[in-house]
Amino acid sequence: MLNKRNIYFIVVIAAEFMFLPVLLIWCIMIRLRMSLRGISKRPNIFMGTMHINNWTNVVKALRMKGYDVALVVWSPPAHEINVVPYDLVLSKRYPFLFRSKYTRFLLQIFLFLWSTWYFDLFIMCFKDRLLDRSILLRWVELQLIQLAGKKIILNTYGDDIMTPHMTLGTKYKYSVLEGFLKDRDYANRDECLVLKNRNYCQKWADYIVSAIDHVQYLERIDDCLHMRCVDLAEFTPACETSNSIPVIAHAPNHRLFKGTAYLIKAVDELNEEGVHCTLNIIEQRPHNEVLEGISCADIAADQFLVGAYARFAIESMALCKPVVCYLRDDLFELNPVWEESPIVNANPDNLKEKLKELILMSPTERSYIGKNGRAYVEKYHSIEYIGNRMHEIIARVWFADKVKIL
């Protein structure tokens, strides 16, 4: 018996078969157009369509290097609309097209046609690509982009490539798998589909950029680069505070994956033992309030399950705060810059002791760690550094080492 879901699949699959020859002809036309005009010295860059708010800094970095870049997102969460400076938010620009699955499908097709016409190089994640919301066309999307003479750089986000049940299993005492098992939305996640998509992307991407814990899921990495970056001009160091009792800032976007329960337990036990501290959990708050909370804190606590640091730790170090975070031992070899990191490495087993050491330090001692963190961010997570590294990668991909980029 046909229901609405089955009818939708039938209609969309039929439409995809109908559009496929159109897209093929379109891409061939674009390739001919590119051959006539010749290769441009600086490719126009499309970034999207996943809502990664830190990519706004990557865009800024690339524009500083002279690139024409557009950051286009499909449908970010409500708290990011009109707050995060994306160049184009499709759900906001075309709300009438988001009212129906059928019109959203047509928007995908239009997005593909428009982007392949105006842009030369695509920086995307492994999911939420141009045609990733389709049923069949998603499996020929990258081939079509390449047929049009364009280049593709894929950067891992995390959820787009993670298969913790398959890859991690019970190998580690603490890992992100714990969060996946406890979270109802992730416990029954189809990792076979994630694996299929990951293999597809690894096969067809021109270049893959990845780092931190993401590298353990990939068979192919062309450049180990953690693309999270900050504009240090926007971060005024706040090395010391006037707090009589040390304050620990923690901003979990997902408590189960950050190991927040372990942090709360450690802080409670320390206070019971007379090592007094205050835990400030900054949750579901605007970004400016998160930064204010970090600035007013003495210590920043990131995560204790994933095994790698991300945006919160980077911004905390930029504000000169000592950061405590779990960095998994076997990931250091795959992330060599970690050897220079001043992050205090703590897992759930030793978290209480590591926090105790930081709490009992003098403000001057904590400030010293914080300043080293700021220097680390300047070296590996500033927009200048990421801009230079991405400039090198783009040159390598776009010109295939045949022409020196100007």
**Cβ-Cβ contacts under 8 Å for 164 (sequence gap 6 or more):** 175, 176, 177, 180, 191
pLDDT tens digits, 8-59: 778 888 889 999 999 999 999 999 998 888 777 789 999 989 999 899 999 9
pLDDT tens digits, 252-289: 988 898 999 999 999 999 999 999 999 999 988 888 88
On the CB side of 192, how many CA atoms lie within 13 Å of its CA?
Answer: 1
pLDDT above 60: residue 402: no
Per-residue pLDDT band at 406 (split at 50, 70, 90): very low
Per-residue pLDDT band at 2 (split at 50, 70, 90): low
Rounded to whole angstroms, how far apart are CA atoms 69 and 122? 10
Helix, coil or strand: residue 20:
helix
User: What pLDDT does 222 receive?
Assistant: 95
Element (H, E) at 398: helix 383-398
DSSP state at residue 168? T
Residue 381 CB-density burial (10 A; 0-12 exposed, 13-18 middle, 19+ buried): buried
Rounded to whole angstroms, how far apart are CA atoms 96 and 320? 45
Enter the tokens of residue 110.
Answer: 């239009």
Cis, peptide link before residue 49, omega less than 30° from 0: yes
User: What pLDDT does 8 receive?
Assistant: 78
Q: Which amino acid, 345?
A: N
CA nearest neighbour of 324 among 297, 364, 362, 292: 297
Whether residue 398 contacts residue 120, with contact meaning beta carbons closer than 8 Å, is answered with: yes
Rounded to whole angstroms, how far apart are CA atoms 226 and 310? 9
Q: Which amino acid, 204?
A: W
Give φ, ψ of 220 to 5 degrees. Answer: -135, 125
**Cβ-Cβ contacts under 8 Å for 236 (sequence gap 6 or more):** 295, 319
Give φ, ψ of 252 to 5 degrees. Answer: -80, 125
Per-residue pLDDT band at 404 (split at 50, 70, 90): very low
Biggest alpha carbon distance in the chain? 75
pLDDT tens digits, 346-356: 999 999 999 99
As a whole number, mean pLDDT of residues 112-119 equals 96
**Cβ-Cβ contacts under 8 Å for 226 (sequence gap 6 or more):** 211, 212, 335, 337, 380, 381
pLDDT tens digits, 280-337: 999 888 888 899 999 999 999 999 999 999 999 999 999 999 999 999 999 999 999 9
pLDDT above 80: residue 400: no
pLDDT tens digits, 145-193: 999 999 999 999 988 999 999 999 888 999 999 888 888 778 778 999 9
User: What pLDDT does 405 receive?
Assistant: 38
Give φ, ψ of 269 to 5 degrees. Answer: -65, -40
